[in-house]
Amino acid sequence: MPERPEIVIVGGGPAAHAAAAAYRDAGGDLEVRILTAELELPYERPPLTKEYLRGESSPGDLLLANPDWYRERRIAVECDATVAELDLERGEARCADGRTWGFDRCLLASGARPVLPKVPGADGPDVRTVRTIVDSEQLRALAQGSVVVVGSGFVGCEAAATLAMLGAEVTVATLESSPQVERLGEEASARVASWLDEVGVDLLAEADLAEISVEPGGSLVRFEDGREARSDAVVLALGISRNDELAVAAGVRVDDGVLVDAAMVSSDPRLLACGDVAAAQNSAAGRRLRVEHWGEALNMGRVAGHTLAGREANWDAAPGFWSSIGGRTLKYVGWGDGWDEVSFRPGAGGSFVARYGREGELVGVLAHDDDASYERGRSEVEARAEWS
């Protein structure tokens, strides 16, 4: 164990990296140690379903910083370090391999993992998920085969479109009548469906997964209504499950994510949480939000880093994300916890803007090829503007 306590960050994603950087920038002088279960330094994940999947970048291109950057800032990164227990009373993080690290305060930035449905065959040999570099490389090997993607969220749509553009025969199976219709509304959902169709992706709508069975040369996917799809591989893109088990065992408050305030502090002041694993209070929204966006992991990480350094900080940005599907980019900003009315405004050249309202307030803006409306929408959402 180190001679003096450290700041220990559990997790090796964007939130962990941003927190370590912000802690140093804010004048924090304790040793900082990032414990990540992965074998690589913190890296970008969005390209895993796009540029990296297409083979346009290398693992080194994904790194958020090179080894020298960490050394210069006295940030130690322990790879292949799976934390098995957090002892908040003793101030210790215990790894599965027996290593133990003492800490003054701990930041949980452990992210999330892909959901595996409770159906027969979901853990079969030809079933894939998308979360890591290795996952993306395995998908790339499917580029000349047939693939069934189960789930039509942004990860599923991005991966499906990219694989189809690489030459794969791709089917997207979704529970909804159209991709993300409940999240985006009918008009925007129809645009996404058309983009998938343009690159050759087949859509299997209102398809409730029942079973995946191993067949000679691949898999047979069965759905509850009797429909079937054969493929070389199956990609499950059914959302995430937050890695909050360490917090549960440590006795802090958890409810689909570690409950933290706008400064990222949990019910125990020795433990902070940020990124996908956190259910954080957003001071601009005036309520707790659960987000899964790359940009928000960075924003929340910066807040956590400043808090750890003793600076006042709070999360007050409206969450947002970009998604590229078949060469087209969607930009979204909003609170992300529901809407009750939507206004869809098509523009020139296939551009559009969708504005989402709830109880008379603008709560989200989605734009394609209209950056001005997207940027204006961010200001309006954060100002709690009236919906129009």
DSSP 277-346: GEEEEETTTTEEE----HHHHHHHHHHHHHHHTT------SPPEEEEEETTEEEEEEE--S--SEEEEEE
Identify the pLDDT of residue 379: 95
The full set of domains in the chain, from first to last, is 6-113+240-308 (3.50.50.60), 116-236 (3.50.50.60), 338-382 (no CATH)
Q: What mean pLDDT comes out for the span 220-226? A: 97
Q: What mean pLDDT comes out for the span 104-115? A: 96
Q: What mean pLDDT comes out for the span 29-50? A: 96
Structure tokens at 331: 């930009």
Whether pLDDT at 130 is above 90: yes
Whether pLDDT at 86 is above 80: yes
Mean pLDDT taken over the chain: 95
Over residues 136-145, the pLDDT tens digits come to 999 999 998 9
Q: What mean pLDDT comes out for the span 206-226? A: 94
Whether pLDDT at 208 is above 70: yes
Rounded CA gap, 191 and 325, in Å? 11
Q: Are 235 and 48 in contact (CB under 8 A)?
A: no
Of 360, 319, 280, 341, which is closest to residue 107 (Cα–Cα)? 280
Over residues 315-364, the pLDDT tens digits come to 999 999 999 998 899 999 999 999 999 999 999 999 999 999 999 999 99
Identify the pLDDT of residue 3: 56
Over residues 233-262, the pLDDT tens digits come to 999 999 999 999 999 999 999 999 999 999
Cα-based distances in Å from 357 to 68, 362, 365: 47, 5, 9
Q: With bands split at pLDDT 50, 70 and 90, how would you rate the model's confidence at 4?
A: low
Q: If 0-12 CB within 10 Å is exposed, 13-18 middle and 19+ buried, where does residue 375 land? A: middle
Percent of the chain residues topping a pLDDT of 70: 99
Q: C-alpha 189: how far from its chain's center?
A: 20
Identify the pLDDT of residue 116: 94
Query: Tokens 């895993």 sit at which residue?
Result: 48
Q: What is the pTM of this model?
A: 0.94
Whether pLDDT at 277 is above 60: yes
Q: What mean pLDDT comes out for the span 267-289? A: 97
Whether pLDDT at 1 is above 50: no
Whether pLDDT at 290 is above 60: yes
Rounded to 10°, the helix 133-140/154-166 angle is 40
